[in-house]
Amino acid sequence: MRRNNREKILKTARKLLPRYGYNGISIRAIAKSAKLTTGAIYFHFKNKKEIYRTICNEAVDLLISKFKAGIAGRKTVNQKLISIYDSYLEYYENHRDYYNIIMEYKADYSKKPDDEYIKKILELIQITSETFEMGIAQGAFRKINPVLLSLFLAAITEGMIQYKKMGVFDALEIRDADFRKFMADAVGRGIENMSSSANRDAGNV
Q: What is the pLDDT of residues 31-56, one digit of tens each?
A: 999 999 999 999 999 999 899 989 99
Give pLDDT, residue 186.
Answer: 82
Average confidence (pLDDT) over 182-190: 80
Give pLDDT, residue 18.
Answer: 87
Give pLDDT, residue 191.
Answer: 64
What is the amino acid identity at position 47? N
User: 104 exposed, middle or buried (CB, 10 Å; 0-12, 13-18, 19+)?
Assistant: middle
d(CA 77, CA 63) in angstroms, rounded, equals 20
Give pLDDT, residue 103.
Answer: 84
Give pLDDT, residue 180.
Answer: 86
Q: Mean pLDDT across the chain, nearest whole number?
A: 87
In this predicted model, which residue has the larger pLDDT, 113 or 46? 46
In this predicted model, which residue has the larger pLDDT, 104 or 73? 73
What is the amino acid identity at position 7? E
d(CA 97, CA 16) in angstroms, rounded, equals 10
39-48: burial string, b at 16+ Cβ within 10 Å, e else? ebbeebbeeb
Give pLDDT, residue 3.
Answer: 66
Per the CB < 8 A criterion, the answer to whether 185 and 85 are in contact is: no
The pTM for the full model equals: 0.82
Give pLDDT, residue 108.
Answer: 66
Closest CA to 41 of 57, 30, 25: 30
Per the CB < 8 A criterion, the answer to whether 11 and 29 are in contact is: no
Domains annotated on the chain, with CATH = 1-46 (1.10.10.60), 49-191 (1.10.357.10)
pLDDT tier for residue 188 given thresholds of 50, 70 and 90: confident
pLDDT tens across 52-92, in order?
A: 989 999 999 999 999 999 999 999 998 998 899 999 999 99
- CA separation, residue 23 to residues 59, 92, 112, 150, 151 (Å): 19, 23, 16, 32, 29
Closest CA to 16 of 61, 57, 48: 48
